[in-house]
Amino acid sequence: MAAGDDAGRSVADVYSELSALVGGLAHEIRNPLSTIQLNMELLAEDFSDDSSTGPHRQRDRRAKAKIELVRQECERLQRLLGDFLDFARQETLTLEPGNLNEEVGQALDFFAARAAEAGVEVVRYLDPALPKVRFDRETFRSAVLNLLINAVQAMKSGGQLVVRTRAAGLGVLLELIDTGPGMDAETLAKAFRAFYSTKQGGSGLGLPTARKIIESHGGSIDVESAPGRGTKVAIWLPAPPRLATQEQGEPA
């Protein structure tokens, strides 16, 4: 490729090509990894018979433990690849007018059983006078669910999660406030860094992916936290004036 061609390529073009390359690589890794995982499961079945005795029995137990370890690592890598593909994917968003309260409410209904199982009380304060916004429902909901999962996982001994919506400036604000242990300044500064995680087995891509989705909607995401004071995640989305006017029943 000529130097002039390189100069004429936009940053978006370069990112698109890089995204396609790393996405293809991740898929190429995932296929043999699935084969390894399947064969580990089949091999574990061969050692499920406890009829062996003596040294053979001890050998079989050791082999089975090693097989289980490999299988667990395969599962962890599968989750990591899935999170990475979500992060690297270039979404083609279909932004449509919608009610943020309804979208958040449906996400909370879907998430209710998991929250209850973790001993987390979910409290809703959804402003009924909220103006409409534009969002891609499926993509936006995936970001919200990701953040809900993070909040619940932070409250290992249960707690309370407050979900609040309200108008803010020329847009709307969705706040998720948990009573977890909170984060110190150093951890908070790295919260949106890809592959950074304080959770055992975490990919560190949850928050970066959520930020990418929110920013692709023209919005922003901010996190406030302190040790012993919980964490607040605030998502701001713009509310186009025309949508706000129509919501109030005035002519467009």
**Mind listing the pLDDT tens digit for each residue in 204-223?**
667 878 888 888 888 999 99
Domain spans of the chain, in order of start = 3-88, 96-247
Q: Provide the H-helix boundaries in the chain.
A: 3-8, 11-46, 54-88, 100-117, 137-154, 185-189, 206-216, 241-247
- How confident is the model at residue 195, as a pLDDT? 62
Highest averaged pLDDT of the listed ranges 46-60, 71-85, 156-170: 156-170
pLDDT range class, residue 251, cuts 50, 70, 90: very low
Q: Is residue 45 pLDDT above 90, yes or no? A: no
Average pLDDT over residues 119-138: 91
pLDDT exceeding 70 applies to what percent of the chain?
Answer: 71
Q: Is residue 252 pLDDT above 50, yes or no? A: no
The pTM assigned to this predicted structure is 0.64
Cβ atoms of residues 175 and 232 within 8 Å: yes
pLDDT exceeding 90 applies to what percent of the chain?
Answer: 25
Average pLDDT over residues 233-238: 93
| Of the options 3.40.50.1820, 3.40.50.620, 3.30.565.10, 3.90.1200.10, the CATH number for the domain spanning 96-247 | 3.30.565.10
pLDDT, greater one: 236 or 212:
236
- How confident is the model at residue 53, as a pLDDT? 59
Mean pLDDT of the chain: 78
Average pLDDT over residues 24-46: 75
- Cα–Cα distances (Å) from 35 to 81, 82, 117, in that order, read 15, 16, 33
Rounded (5°) CA angle 110-180-199: 80
Pick the range with the lowest mean pLDDT from 70-84, 97-111, 151-165: 70-84
- How confident is the model at residue 199, as a pLDDT? 63
